[in-house]
Each structure stands twice: as structure tokens, then as C-alpha cells.
Amino acid sequence: MKDKNGKVKWWMWATFLLVLALVSFALATLAVYESNASTGLRAQAARNELRQRNTFSWPETEETHDVVAAIIEPRRHRNLVFVINHLHEVLPHVPIHVFHGRLNQDMIPTGDHITLHEIPFDNIQIPHYNAICMDPAFYKALPGRHILIFQTDSVVFSKSQVRLEEFYPFDYVGAPHDTLRYSLVEWKSQKHFRVGNGGLSLRRRSMMLQCLETTPLDKALYMPEDVYFSHEVIRQGGKIPSEKEAARFSFQSVYADVLPFGAHRNLPTRWIDQMTPEEIAVFKPK
């Protein structure tokens, strides 16, 4: 309909724009659901493959240490030796558990502080990694009240004044997520689940087991493991830090007011003068 001047009435434009917005929202939501379904199917297939190869047959342990560190890396990755040795230099009291593949055991440093666990694969994909981190057997194999997860693209800074112990009161700590990683139907609550990224994270073993044993795993597998724990720890009544506190633990995109305990994936260039060349090299492209 047009007015007497031949122009389309304003409310028709408003209606058109509203319909367009609703259609766009519906299509985006459908895409998210399809993506979640695809993620879930891949994760279930990965979990089944891991179980068929008896991956989760590691011995169960008791909590005999305040904290142990763990890395899941089956590849012959260029950073593997450094991140293991460097973490031991910065945290010499922390035992390190290495979940290695069939082709890289020979390159892993040895010593009383190193415990090896085999993953019967030459390499794994992200769904396999998520499935390992979301299986109770993984946490039961680690004898610490707290578990420090690290990866080959993460580093703990030797000159940081932030101590790991200050995060022991929390059940899950990781760098604030740099993207919104939930479906659109949960957009209102996303701000509560920004903490945090799992690539360098500190987790209370008992809370991880509580989350996994009280939530159907088929449901949990429909999201990345760190997103799942960011959400589920809160739902279980656990304690996570604020974004500001989490940024002191690890950097990924949110800066703290000091050089953080560590970083994952990205280099906090604001504090580059306080890093060693070897720490900086972890974040350089291959």
C-alpha cells in the first residue's frame, strides 16, 4: 500500500524488516542445531572408536597430589618437548602425565616426574580430543586434586608473578572465551559461561567427575569439552572465577593488568618484554 504521494507506508517497511529479521534468526538457529547435531555425531563416532581400541583402560588412581599436569598429544609436534620441559622448570613440584600416541613416545622427556599413558592412535582429531576429555577414565587416571591441562600451543610464563595456587579455590579456570560458543537459544545466558578456554586450564578432579557422572554423556558430546565444563560446573553449583580473575590465569584474547600465569594460542604482546624467546617461539607459525 502507498500513501497519497505514491510512497510505501512506513509500517510496511517495518513489517518487511521484521519478517526478514525473523527469517534470518530462524535460519541461523537451524544452522546452529544442524552444526550441533553434526558435532554430536562426530563425537559419538570418535568415542566409539576410542573405546573399540581400549583407549580408556588406564589404571585408576587416588588423589595423592595437590595438582598434576596433563597433555594429550599423539603427534610428533615441534613444541611437545619444549612445553613439557618448560612446565617442569616453572613448576618442578608438579608431576606431568603425557597421553602420547604410537609414533611419538620416543621423543617424550623421561624422569620421575613423567608418567606415560598410551593413546592407540598415530593422530587424533578434535572430536577424539573432546571425547577423551569428557570421559571419567581420563580424570581417574590423574592422581591430583587439581589437573592442569596444557597443549602444544600453550605456555606458562616463567617471569609471571601470578601463582597457580591462587586458583585452587575454583573448580574450573581457563582464559575467557574469545567468541560466543553457544547456540542462539542460550544467547541470554552466554555471558555467564565465558570462563573458560580448555587449552590451558585448571580443573578440580572431583568436579569434573561429578559433571560427567550426573549429565548424560550423549548430551555433553554435542559441544566442545571446554564449553561443556564452562556451563556444567555452574549448573552443578561449582565455583569459577570472574573474567577478570580468569584473565590473570591465562591469556587468549582478554588482557589482565599483569603478565598472566600462562597463555593459549595467542601471544599477549602487551607483556612481550617479560617473556623469554623460547616462550614467544611457541606461538610462532610452523
Residue 210 has pLDDT above 80, yes or no: yes
Report yes or no: 285 and 273 within 8 Å, Cβ to Cβ: no
CA angle 195, 156, 132 (to 5 degrees): 60
Name the residue ranges covered by the structural domains of the chain: 65-281
At 114, list the grid cell: 613423567
Total-model pTM: 0.84
Asked if CATH classification 3.90.550.10 holds for the domain at 65-281, the reply, yes or no, is yes
Q: What tens digit of pLDDT does each residue of 258-268 get?
A: 999 999 999 99
Above 80 in pLDDT, residue 41? no
Q: How confident is the model at residue 62 (pLDDT cuts 50, 70, 90)?
A: very high
Residue 216's pLDDT is what? 67
- CA–CA distance, 162 with 285 (Å, rounded to integer): 27
How many secondary structure helices (H) and strands (E) does the chain include?
A: 9, 9
What is the per-residue pLDDT across 158-176, written as a single tens digit (0 to 9) for each? 999 999 999 999 999 999 9
Nearest CA among 273, 134, 159 for reference residue 212:
134
Alpha-carbon gap, residue 204 to 202, rounded angstroms: 7
Three-state secondary-structure class, residue 132:
helix
Task: Return the SS3 of 93.
Answer: coil
Q: Any idea what DSSP says for residue 219? A: H
Kindly state the cell numbers that stand for 176: 575467557
Q: What are phi and psi of 203, to 5 degrees?
A: -130, 135
How many angstroms separate the CA atoms of 246 and 146, rounded? 16
